[in-house]
A and B are shown apart, each in its own frame.
Chain A
Amino acid sequence: MIRMNFVRNHVLVCAGTGCVAAKSKEIMDEFQLQLEKQGLTDEVKVILTGCFGLCALGPIVVVYPEGAFYSELKVEDIATIVEEHILKGRVVKGLLYHETVQEGSDTISGLNETSFYKKQVRVSLRNCGVIDPENIDEYIAYDGYEALAKCLTEMTPEAVIDEILKSGLRGRGGGGFPTGLKWQFAAREKSDIKYICCNADEGDPGAFMDRSVLEGDPHNIIESMAIAGYAIGASQGYIYVRAEYPIAVERMNIAIAQAKEYGFLGQNIFGTGFNFDLEVRLGAGAFVCGEETALMMSIEGNRGEPNPRPPFPAVKGLFGKPTVLNNVETFTNITWILLHGAEAFAAMGTEKSKGTKVFALGGNITNTGLVEVPMGITLREIVDEIGGGVPNGKAFKAAQTGGPSGGCIPCELLDIPIDYDSLISIGSMMGSGGLIVMDEDSCMVDIAKFFLDFTVEESCGKCTPCRIGTKRMLDILEKISEGHGTMEDICALEELSAHIKENSLCGLGQTAPNPVASTLAHFRDEYEAHVLEKRCPAGVCKNLLQYFIIPEKCVGCTLCKRVCPTDAIVGEVKQVHEIIQEKCIKCDACREACKKFNAIVKR
Chain B
Amino acid sequence: MAKTIEELRAIREKMRGQIDLRQKGEDNLRVVVGMATCGIAAGARPVLHAFTEEVRRRGLNNVTVGQAGCIGLCQFEPIVEVYAPDAEKVTYVNMDAEKAARVVAEHLVNNRVVAEYTVGAVEGLK
* A interface, CB within 8 angstroms of B: 1-2, 4, 6-10, 12, 43, 64-67, 87-90, 110, 130-131, 137-138, 140-146, 149, 153, 261-264, 266, 268-271
Contacts and interface: CB of A to CB of B under 8 A. Distances in A.
Given A8-B65, A137-B15, A1 B22 contact: no
B33 interface: yes
5 contacts: A8-B52, A43-B52, A89-B67, A138-B19, A146-B9
Nearest to A148: B8
A88 B2 contact: no
Contacts of B64: 65
A286 B63 CA distance: 52
Contacts of A263: 1-3
B5 interface: yes
A65 B52 contact: no
- Among B1, B11, B32, B64, find the residue whose CB has the most chain A CB atoms closer than 10 A: B11
Contacts of A268: 2
Contact of A140 (B11, B33, B66, B68): B11
B63 to A, nearest CB: 10
Contacts of B19: 10, 131, 138, 141-142
Nearest to A8: B52
B102 to A, nearest CB: 18
Contacts of B89: none
B12 interface: yes
B24 A65 contact: yes
A141 B2 contact: no
Nearest to B97: A2
Closest 7 pairs between A and B when the two form their complex, measured CB to CB: A89-B67, A263-B2, A141-B15, A65-B64, A64-B22, A6-B52, A90-B69
B35 interface: yes
Contacts of A87: 35, 67
Contacts of B67: 87-89
Nearest to B32: A89
B4 interface: yes
A270 B5 contact: yes
B36 interface: yes
Interface of A is mostly: loop
B22 A6 contact: no
B48 interface: yes
B24 A67 contact: yes
Contact of A66 (B9, B11, B48, B66): B66
A541 B116 CA distance: 80
B16 interface: yes
Contacts of A130: 22
Contact of A89 (B1, B5, B66): B66
A263 B5 CA distance: 11
A141 B66 contact: no
A8 B52 CA distance: 7
A278 to B, nearest CB: 16
Contacts of B1: 261-263
Contact of A65 (B14, B48, B66, B68): B66
A266 B2 CA distance: 9
B3 A90 contact: no
B56 A6 contact: yes
Contact of A10 (B11, B22, B33, B69): B22
A65 B36 CA distance: 19
B12 A110 contact: no
Given A65-B24, A110-B24, A141-B18, A90 B53 contact: no
A81 B18 CA distance: 22
Contact of A264 (B3, B16, B53): B3
Contacts of A4: 49, 52-53
B21 interface: yes
Nearest to B67: A89
A328 to B, nearest CB: 24
A140 B12 contact: yes
Interface string B55-71: 01000000011111100
A7 B53 CA distance: 9
Given A1-B45, A7-B18, A140-B15, A153 B5 contact: yes
A137 B35 CA distance: 33
Contact of B68 (A1, A89, A264, A271): A89
A6 B49 contact: yes
Given A6-B53, A10-B19, 9 more contacts: A1-B46, A88-B35, A88-B69, A110-B24, A131-B19, A146-B9, A263-B3, A266-B2, A270-B3
Contacts of B16: 141
B95 to A, nearest CB: 15
Nearest to A144: B12
A156 to B, nearest CB: 17
Contacts of A12: 22
A557 B66 CA distance: 62
A291 B5 CA distance: 37
Nearest to B7: A262
A11 to B, nearest CB: 11
Nearest to A272: B5
Interface in B12-51: 12, 14-16, 18-19, 21-22, 24, 32-33, 35-36, 45-46, 48-49
B4 A270 contact: yes
A149 B5 contact: yes
B60 to A, nearest CB: 12
Contacts of B32: 89
Contacts of B56: 6
B2 A89 contact: no
